[in-house]
Structure 1
């Protein structure tokens, strides 16, 4: 019984070491995921290329709660919002339903 008790004590001590390491591993995974997002190829597109993509997508009729893709495009990130706001033809058509 004494050996079992000592083994259980060692297990508890090791758990106290392992748990913070697991938490640190999860924090690192989130950090790496954020970095991968920052360096994603889509983020490196020049504004001019993104404008052309938006123009092409803007000509497609979308059957959804949005009459166009402009609101969803402008909500992706700050860069996409600023690019879409500069592209006046995306905002030149407003569909009003009653």
Structure 2
């Protein structure tokens, strides 16, 4: 015969459904159950011997009881999981709303434009890195700074030193470079540099047939129109 150990975890009987908001009840304040134990069961579980017919039936009966208990627990756990998901969803909403509410308190809102512009200068890639890109990368500074928010765009566009280095290297491009160095983008950059002194890196490539030489010529003519601003010129 098997003995039993009674375990009675206390659980709340009412929950809210996360889908419809209805109150769910487990129907009982506590889940009481008897955990089958005893010497007969211990002897069978501790032994490697083959079971006889009656022993097989006995083990099956114990397993069936345990399956029933597991089902009872699953029924109790399901509404708890629903409630937990509901609480986590509401907490995430509150956290998001809290962050949005605190946004106006950000020190960046009170930072003078000239200080923010100085910080922006530290986000620029080194010249050699920009040359190796073989194109104008609008996902990096200074172009990226104009896409964050209106105040940042205003500061970036009105900070000439952000736009005073023009880096063009056709030799780093494997395709038609006219699609990577847009005249419109370079012209916008030159306009934003205003009267600031320019550092220009222009590395052309005449050795590869696939390159459109007209695009290189047009680009250099655009730069020539701003020659009065050149402080440093690197040609290759």
Tell whether the structures are fold-level matches, with TM greater than 0.5: yes
Bigger share in helix: 1
Q: 1:15 is matched with which residue: 61, 71, 81? A: 81
CA RMSD of aligned residues (A): 3.6
Shift of 1:80: 1.4
What's 2:113 paired with?
A: 47
1:25 is aligned to 2:91: yes
Shift of 1:45: 0.8
Counterparts of 2:141 and 2:76 in 1: how far apart (Å)? 59
Provide structure 1 residue ranges, at least 5 long, that are not aligned to the other structure.
Answer: none
Greater RCO, CA 8 A, separation 6+: 1
Q: 2:126 is matched with which residue: 54, 62, 68? A: 62
Bigger share in strand: 2
3-state SS in 2 of match to 1:26 = helix
Shift of 1:24: 0.8
1:96 is aligned to 2:160: no
Equivalent residues, number: 94
Counterparts of 1:20 and 1:61 in 2: how far apart (Å)? 45
What's 2:222 paired with?
A: none
- Contact kept, 8 Å, 1:73 with 1:81, in 2: the verdict is yes
* Cα separation, partners in 2 of 1:70 and 1:12, compared to 1, 3 Å: closer
TM-score (norm 2): 0.31
Shift of 1:13: 3.1
